[in-house]
Structure 1
Amino acid sequence: GNPNGGQGGDGQIAKNVTMQFTPGWDWIQPVRDRNTGIWDEVSITTTGSVKVEHPYVITKVPGARIPSGNQKDALVKATVELENTSAHTQSGSVVCETDGKRLTQTVVLSPGEHKTVTFEEITIKNPRLWWPNGIGRQELYDMNIFFNQNDGISDSHSTRYGIREITSEKDPTTGGRKFYVNGQPIYMTGGNYIASDWLLRLSPERYRAEVRFHAEMNVRMIRVWGGALLERPEFYDACDEYGILVFQDLWGTGDCNGAWEDPMKKDSRERRWEYPDNHTLFLRSVEDQVKMIRNHPSLCLWCGGNEWPLAEDIDETLKNTLFPRLDPERLYTSFSTDTLFTRNAIGGVGDGPYGIQEPEWFFTFRSTPFNPEAGSVGSPEIESMREMMTDEELAGFPRPGRRTHIAWQHHKDLGYRDHLERYGDVTDIEAYSKYAQVVNYDQYRSFMEGWASRMWEWYTGILIWKTQNPWTSLRGQMYDWFLDVNASFYGTKKGCEPLHPQYNIVGKQVELVNTALSTHRVSVKASLYKPDGSTIWEKIEAATIKANSVNRMFSIPLPEDIEGVYFLKLELEEEGRLITDNIYWLTTTPKNYRGLADLPQVKPEVKATLEKEGDQYTGTILLTADKNISFFNRLKVFDKESGKRILPVHYSDNYITLMPGDKKEIQLQFSSRLAEDRIEIVIDSWTSERLICPITR
């Protein structure tokens, strides 16, 4: 076997209880020190004679709820572990405080005794419920448990929890796992998350930015992939606050643990079935980690391994003993494509594919009903590429009939096939990046719209492979290692809107998708435009869209007098208020969008405000189009003195297209210690030279 590269090198990494991707994968180079050394926080705490450990909070929300209005009662039940660390009998009272309520039990502990105490169930009147992103609010409660003795408090433990109940079933219609939160079915969109950083330079700030990015993309679930690690508590804190449900793998992958024969691996497939070498250590590690994160309302389910179960005795212990004892309220599935979770509709291991697709494919190919990983491209913006590679390496970008510089292979370029050339001649790295972003947007919008078009008919959920990278990779990402977003982010964001008008490019039909829990009475307006901005067709239709449903609406005609590119704009209004719009660039000449280069050159009118409080900046950008189309405007923030980007920046929207007369307001937020006069906001556009935004402070 080869210890470096491939999928987990020679597989020997999996003999340990550890992160498996560090020998290399098809999206990352090998990490030389593997997982050696102390990488997490080390601390020493002191207690009295009685130690308080591992509180466990279970919440029950009977019936089907809605996010608004008064709520019926909910139930909260807590347990806690006590340990007498002394050589003497200890007595006292263990106290649980939450939501203004106080429960007390008298406890006597023999020398060295370890005891689990169960508190009386609490009834919460009109509870503030926790909901996933895009459904409702993420309300959180505090609980404090302490052991009180005559001489004071021996030890205490505070935890935060949310009142919600998650259940699931194998959906009889689709064959996919269908999740319910507070009694309501939730259509799951999300992404696979590897690790925040390949060298485990982890921070609460980076965790929070990454989780916030997922919420801003309108997704509802993150899968913490099995070739990585179980994240630190701050990651799950952020998921709690942003409403992102967590699909939590343990430490195992089909690649290293023997899902198939692999000549790169040192051991036989059968030997790899037995990994890791120390099963007791694996189970003790699982117990430790389960106790660490099980109170997070965002934690949705446990999964043994990626694409393949763990060693048989480990899997059986987890399934029949450990999880029923430590976390009985959550689903445990042996592996990510287990029949308990989904139905394998596509062969192989039941997930994927991972390359660029024709946009129509997402509407026609019937995939696994809850696909835990399917992905595509995700080339970063030009500024990130310049930090990753030299000018010489960038000049060797992929193009037909020419050898690509090896640096692109080093950074795991996936390739766009001929999709970039559909927009123009790819003559330099600037053109490559420009075309890659418009393809990224269209690819992921089509991805999410195609799946949503068949919600509950074919699918219960879809998780993108991947939404991020822990290093400077060129594939499968909505934002890069530098925390700069690319157009994949905003294509996903658009396609995952909870209330969303979309164009089925196969059926040539407008569809209205509602993945939230309220019925809406709306109108949808469709307009076709020539490249010069003139309108050639319009239609408005009213619709009532029920919760968790898809409406097939009216057809869109093919323009008769246009050869090449044209535009379709969909506008969704409710009670006279614009909820969202959705703009498509289409063509009458298949796979040829080169006419976009001939759009009239036009600068949108720009008004920008920026305010600073401490290190936090907030701003508003108002873009207004004239009589022409302003296409694919990308906002960026720089330090005007150094020319360096300021990252991360959270934009309410980006890669914005304006039809004639359109106005669009974008909010942005970022943190920087730079003085206000050093902040520069620019717009890179298809239809103008770079614009520097005049800022009103």
Structure 2
Amino acid sequence: MWSLSVAEGDGPDLARGKAATASGSENDTNGPGNAVDGDPTTRWASKYEDDQYIQVDLGAAVDFDRVTIVWEQAYALDYRVQVSTDGESFTDVKSVSNETPLGSRATQVETFPEQTARHLRIQAGTRATSWGVSMWTLSVQRQAEPDVDLALHASVQASSADSDSTGPEQAVDGNPRTRWASKAEDGQWIQVDFAQPATFDQVAIVWEQAYARDFVIQVSDDGQRWTDVKSVSNKITELKINVNGVPVFARGGNWGWDELLRRVLPDRLADTVEMHRDMNFTMIRNWLGSSNREELYQACDEQGILVWNDFWQAGQFLPNPPGYVDIAADTIRRYRHHPSIVVWCGANEGDPPPIVDAGLKQAVATEHPEILYIPNSASGIVSGRGPYHWVDPATYVDNKIYEADSFGFHTEIGMPVVSVVESMRNLVGDEPEWPPSVVWNHHDWSTVGNQRVDTYQEAIDARLGESGSLDEFATRAQFVNYESHRAMFEAWNANLWQDATGLLLWMSHPAWHSTVWQTYDYDLDVNGAYFGTRKGCEPLHVQADPGTWRVRAVNHTTTALTGATVTARRYDLRGRSLGTPQSQRVDVAASATSAAFTVPAPDGAGLHLVLLELRDSRGRLLSENTYWRYGAAEEMRALNDLGRTRLSTETGGVRTSGGRATVTTTVRNEGDTVAALVRLSVRDSRGDRVLPARYDENYFWLLPGESRLVEIAWPARLDVRGRVQVSARAYNSAG
């Protein structure tokens, strides 16, 4: 046991620091004094025998009416509390049974119209965890006779068992410490044969942690033909955030360290939080409480970005670190004046130890009572755990790729992100830049970690061929970066409020030069991931669902959109129209979506463009979205054979107001083919990039003869020399 406390009511611990003796200890380190020393990290452990005891000399006769024991995993199945006036003759005060396991368990009772049958089956559907389904006890009863368990010691069989020690008979043996556990597959079942027809109207299941997300109670007279009696759903209601009564779809990213060396240049935090706002994010998760910078919270307050704040536990937990909860309470008091904070989370991808969890819950309830506390960042009313590597972007809309088999409030999803060539050259420094080498490995390029960069590189190569230089690879990577990040958020958009309530990238902010899990890079330059994310997170948005190509309008605002129009046009790579444009009027309620038509693929078109527009009732453009649609990945290689095109830019003078410098440029495609994924970059007279810069559009496509007006802004404090220049480069730019 970790601790033994004796008290009267809510009074002090009378056993603290007193003399303790025991029947024995497993070693000199784990003696009985550890249970009363006030240190939650020390414990008494007996010899490996039954009938062990620990006793405390309280120093004098005192009044008490309670004993509190914090058990380690090796707890007593039963014990007696005894008292004595002389330490020799003891009187029993209370007998305690721990026959019921102290671990994870939950009892579920389901009633239904009275049935008379010989056989009963629990037919599970999907699993709630990555394990199979597991139950400590299955009881079948008639409510009029609640003490009679018809399933007790009955004949039982199941679809499977994960071991010889967890067979189905363990669920009906009357021992609450044994359990049936199936193989790690959906669709498992357990059935009971009562030997003769029996009448019942209630089933009670004591689930282990691996419970069934849904199941059907069935009955049969012959054990062959089954009749459904009741369908049961154990689906959890996902976290849904409302601010002032308005539902907020949480879209954002995980924020780790502000900076690798823990020092942040002036204004950098404000700049990077503003970049999150520019991506249309509504939330930042302060992962593991990694940042304690007041400037981060202040910037989130100013930018209207909600903060999910973790405490600091992850991995292996100490049962009750001294002072931990007190420090957590101090932290809550320090930051609670920030209106941006909406969640306090106990631990990353795990549950805090019970004492810590209870302490954190109470600390939040006391110090920040209007704010939600949840114990686990990836379980319960939220989910997580990736994927963290590249997957086919068309699969993000399939909830089966997620551990929880649902969209929900998903706290971590991401993939490798190779940024623009200039930033990558800063990453490699004086080392050879191509092919990827050890210096890349030093910056997270790993085939054995969760990022699995080999699948990312294979996806780029499959689409556009193997690259012969860093410049070529970084340019090609932006197609995959953009397409994949847009697809993540569009998958959640498509299921908005059905079971999709939030999505947070792993990660959004880099603390150092990296090749993975970022939207902008350490230089604060933007790339395809940034603008794919920004597109998928638009407050008013038009998108097409992969696979079906059903177009839908998305409204993340608080105002209904009425009389809007959705239009789809298809073009080949020379900018020629493929078929007749499609158009439909749509009304979209506030914080909702509205489906429109499907966009069929032209016969034999190969790689082509699908251009979507959403306009309001006055014809004003609200959203546009360009898809490069292909079947097999190699169809994208048509871009390698596409004729070269020339882009012209016409840039006005710099305007300065309110601490920001702004310039407007017009980009025009002067060629006779499409300009693929045009990247804009603002530079000063020396050719240096102006960073950070905010573009109201970037990484876009232009048809032949089409032009785009783009506004670019940056902090006026930057040292920008001479006249700024805006460069425009398409994948198929000439020269």
TM bin (shorter chain)? 0.5 to 0.7
* Number of the residue aligned with 1:192: 254
Q: 1:550 to 1:612 in 2, by over 3 A?
A: closer
1:598 lines up with 2:641 in the alignment: yes
- Supply the distance in 2 between the matched residues of 1:241 and 1:224 (Cα, whole angstroms): 17
Structure 1 window deviating more from structure 2 (657-666 vs 181-190): it is 657-666
* Number of the residue aligned with 1:214: 276
1:579 lines up with 2:618 in the alignment: no
* Number of the residue aligned with 1:484: 525
* Number of the residue aligned with 2:499: 458
- Supply the distance in 2 between the matched residues of 1:370 and 1:594 (Cα, whole angstroms): 37
1:236 lines up with 2:297 in the alignment: yes
Q: 1:605 to 1:212 in 2, by over 3 A?
A: same
* Number of the residue aligned with 1:681: 726
1:371 lines up with 2:433 in the alignment: no
List per-residue Cα deviations over 1:31-77 (Å, max 9, x = no partner).
xxxxxxxxxxxxxxxxxxxxxxxxxxxxxxxxxxxxxxxxxxxxxxx
- Supply the distance in 2 between the matched residues of 1:175 and 1:218 (Cα, whole angstroms): 25
Report the AA paired with residue 269 of structure 2. Y
* Number of the residue aligned with 2:348: 306
List per-residue Cα deviations over 1:511-544 (Å, max 9, x = no partner).
2111222211210110010111000121111111
Report the AA paired with residue 497 of structure 2. W
Structure 1 window deviating more from structure 2 (490-499 vs 542-551): it is 542-551
- Supply the distance in 1 between the matched residues of 2:250 and 2:332 (Cα, whole angstroms): 23
State the shift of 1:446 in Å. 0.9
* Number of the residue aligned with 2:152: none
| 8 Å CA contact retained: 2:649, 2:726 | no
* Number of the residue aligned with 1:427: 468
Q: 1:591 to 1:454 in 2, by over 3 A?
A: farther
* Number of the residue aligned with 1:44: none
SS in 2 for 1:688: coil
List per-residue Cα deviations over 1:496-521 (Å, max 9, x = no partner).
11111111111121121112222112
* Number of the residue aligned with 2:318: 273
Out of 434, 438, 443, which is 1:406 matched to? Answer: 438
- Supply the distance in 1 between the matched residues of 2:541 and 2:472 (Cα, whole angstroms): 31
Q: How does 1:141-180 map to 2 (within 5 A)?
A: 175-180=237-242
1:652 lines up with 2:691 in the alignment: no
> Unaligned regions of 5+ residues in structure 2, if any?
1-232, 446-450
Q: 1:351 to 1:506 in 2, by over 3 A?
A: same
Out of 700, 707, 715, which is 1:663 matched to? Answer: 707
* Number of the residue aligned with 1:5: none
Select the structure of larger CA radius of gyration.
2
* Number of the residue aligned with 2:679: 634
- Supply the distance in 2 between the matched residues of 1:303 and 1:327 (Cα, whole angstroms): 13
Structure 1 window deviating more from structure 2 (208-217 vs 579-588): it is 579-588
SS in 2 for 1:192: strand
| 8 Å CA contact retained: 1:193, 1:467 | yes
List per-residue Cα deviations over 1:275-329 (Å, max 9, x = no partner).
74xx21x333323322222121111110111112334322211112x21221100
State the shift of 1:660 in Å. 3.8
State the shift of 1:601 in Å. 2.0
Q: How does 1:471-510 map to 2 (within 5 A)?
A: 471-510=512-551
State the shift of 1:589 in Å. 3.8
| 8 Å CA contact retained: 2:431, 2:439 | no
SS in 1 for 2:722: helix
- Supply the distance in 2 between the matched residues of 1:434 and 1:640 (Cα, whole angstroms): 24
- Supply the distance in 2 between the matched residues of 1:660 and 1:554 (Cα, whole angstroms): 27
- Report the number of matched residues: 484
- Supply the distance in 2 between the matched residues of 1:687 and 1:592 (Cα, whole angstroms): 16
- Supply the distance in 1 between the matched residues of 2:483 and 2:320 (Cα, whole angstroms): 42
| 8 Å CA contact retained: 1:216, 1:493 | yes
State the shift of 1:417 in Å. 4.0
Report the AA paired with residue 512 of structure 1. A
| 8 Å CA contact retained: 1:502, 1:582 | yes
| 8 Å CA contact retained: 1:192, 1:463 | yes
State the shift of 1:661 in Å. 4.4
| 8 Å CA contact retained: 1:566, 1:586 | yes
| 8 Å CA contact retained: 2:677, 2:701 | yes
Out of 583, 590, 599, which is 1:556 matched to? Answer: 599
Q: 1:275 to 1:650 in 2, by over 3 A?
A: farther
1:357 lines up with 2:391 in the alignment: yes
Report the AA paired with residue 524 of structure 1. V
1:387 lines up with 2:426 in the alignment: yes
State the shift of 1:659 in Å. 2.5
Report the AA paired with residue 495 of structure 1. G
Q: 1:487 to 1:447 in 2, by over 3 A?
A: same
- Supply the distance in 1 between the matched residues of 2:595 and 2:490 (Cα, whole angstroms): 13
State the shift of 1:174 in Å. 6.4
Q: 1:512 to 1:437 in 2, by over 3 A?
A: same
SS in 2 for 1:534: coil
* Number of the residue aligned with 2:378: 337
Q: How does 1:62-101 map to 2 (within 5 A)?
A: none
State the shift of 1:204 in Å. 5.0
SS in 2 for 1:318: helix
* Number of the residue aligned with 1:246: 307
- Supply the distance in 1 between the matched residues of 2:634 and 2:243 (Cα, whole angstroms): 42
SS in 1 for 2:520: coil
| 8 Å CA contact retained: 1:359, 1:443 | yes
| 8 Å CA contact retained: 1:174, 1:459 | no
| 8 Å CA contact retained: 1:218, 1:493 | yes
* Number of the residue aligned with 1:294: 336
> Unaligned regions of 5+ residues in structure 1, if any?
1-170, 259-271, 345-349, 398-404, 691-697
Q: 1:613 to 1:516 in 2, by over 3 A?
A: closer
Out of 582, 593, 602, which is 1:539 matched to? Answer: 582
| 8 Å CA contact retained: 2:508, 2:517 | yes
- Supply the distance in 1 between the matched residues of 2:665 and 2:369 (Cα, whole angstroms): 49
State the shift of 1:195 in Å. 2.0
| 8 Å CA contact retained: 1:192, 1:466 | yes
- Supply the distance in 1 between the matched residues of 2:348 and 2:588 (Cα, whole angstroms): 37
SS in 2 for 1:236: helix
State the shift of 1:580 in Å. 1.7
SS in 1 for 2:474: helix
Structure 1 window deviating more from structure 2 (470-479 vs 591-600): it is 591-600
SS in 2 for 1:682: strand
RMSD of aligned Cα (Å): 2.3
| 8 Å CA contact retained: 1:612, 1:676 | no
Q: 1:183 to 1:426 in 2, by over 3 A?
A: same
